[in-house]
Amino acid sequence: MTAIDARWFADKGTAASWTHALLVQPGLEDAEVAAEVEDWGTCLLACLLTVERLAFCEMVLDGRAASPREIELLLALDGEPTPATRGLRELHRLRAEAGPHVGRACAEAALTCLATADAHVRSRIPIDVLPMRTPEGFYPSLRVAATLEHLRKAVGLGPFQWDWWANLS
């Protein structure tokens, strides 16, 4: 068993969990569904936008987050390379080389970048992030959210501003 800094978890861990649930998960679905319907151009762009959100999630966990909005986020990503920022560089290369008709191979490479960045970010969040936007995950994720609120109160933090995050998605 490894002890977790409760205050960090209540603050940054909560924010990262909500970021994943409200910003990353919809992006993961967008990329997967676009691949299912073989809309490779949309898939490639959805992968990029979602890896950007994962980069934001990394910044949240590191206490460096400012804004998840794309332009400010790219401006903020200037530190040491991370799995998410490496993914962004790889996606930039894939996009530049994609040509007018984005193909399956390019989109699949983009999906691999996305999966790698997502696995890394998930591994840094101390709890399993539930698939909030699914019938089976919705209510359990609300219970987790309630527990996080109790934890925040216990360590002296105010309620989490989840509605601000919800309106970003």
Footprint of another protein (CB under 8 A): 29-30, 32-34, 36-37, 39, 41-42, 44-46, 49, 63, 66-67, 70-72, 74-78, 81, 85, 88-89, 91-92, 95-96, 98-102, 133-135, 138, 163, 166-167
> Is the Cα dihedral 40, 113, 119, 66 positive or negative?
negative
The Cα 115–Cα 166 span in angstroms is 23
- Amino acid in the structure at residue 137: G
Q: Which residue in the block uniquely carries the two structure tokens 């008709």?
A: 101
Select 128 or 138, whichever has its Cβ closest to another protein. 138
- What are the backbone angles phi and psi of residue 161, rounded to the nearest 5°? -85, 65
Select 3 or 152, whichever has its Cβ closest to another protein. 152
The Cα 55–Cα 61 span in angstroms is 10
Select 76 or 127, whichever has its Cβ closest to another protein. 76
Give the torsion through C-alpha atoms of 34, 36, 41, 46, to 10 deg. Answer: 40
Q: How far is the CB of 115 from another protein (least distance, A)?
A: 17
Select 1 or 37, whichever has its Cβ closest to another protein. 37
Q: How far is the CB of 39 from another protein (least distance, A)?
A: 7
Q: What sections of 98-156 are H helices per DSSP?
A: 104-124, 138-154
Q: How far is the CB of 72 from another protein (least distance, A)?
A: 6
Q: How far is the CB of 152 from another protein (least distance, A)?
A: 15
Q: How far is the CB of 150 from another protein (least distance, A)?
A: 22
